[in-house]
Amino acid sequence: MKEKLFDSEAKVMEILWKEGPLPAKEISLIAADQIGWNKNTTYTVIKKLEAKGFIRRDEPGFMCTPLITETDIRKNETSSLLKRFFGGSRKALFSALIEDEELTESEIEELKDMIDKRMGSKPRA
């Protein structure tokens, strides 16, 4: 995925991921209610998303369908963050995330279990 998803575009994609395919008019009503956007702003963002290949618009009613998943975007953004700020090192990213964060014992155990699961080890008792 070459194109970047900007914050305004992410807001429209979040609506589509949550609600599923919707007519552009319905997206604009939701965006007006949740974000405070006017119809023209929403339609402009929809056109940008379509041009980038993130959504497809079909007749009737400009039905908008997401062509990428939230997981796809999350992986792409994480990969970009890793390369840009951490030299591709997951260890450096993980260290930065937990360095200043106060973690509960439960959160620490969950993280350990995730790592054990990823490594193919048996989960902790």
d(CA 80, CA 76): 6
Average of pLDDT values for 120-125? 62
Question: Model pTM greater than 0.95?
Answer: no
Question: Looking at this protein, which amino acid is placed at residue 66?
Answer: P
The answer to whether the beta carbons of residues 24 and 16 sit under 8 Å apart is no
Kindly tell me if the per-residue pLDDT of 124 is higher than 60: no
15-46 pLDDT, tens per residue?
Answer: 999 999 999 999 999 999 999 999 999 999 99
**Full DSSP string of 54-108:** SEEEETTTTEEEESS-HHHHHHHHHHHHHHHHHTT-HHHHHHHHHHS----HHHH
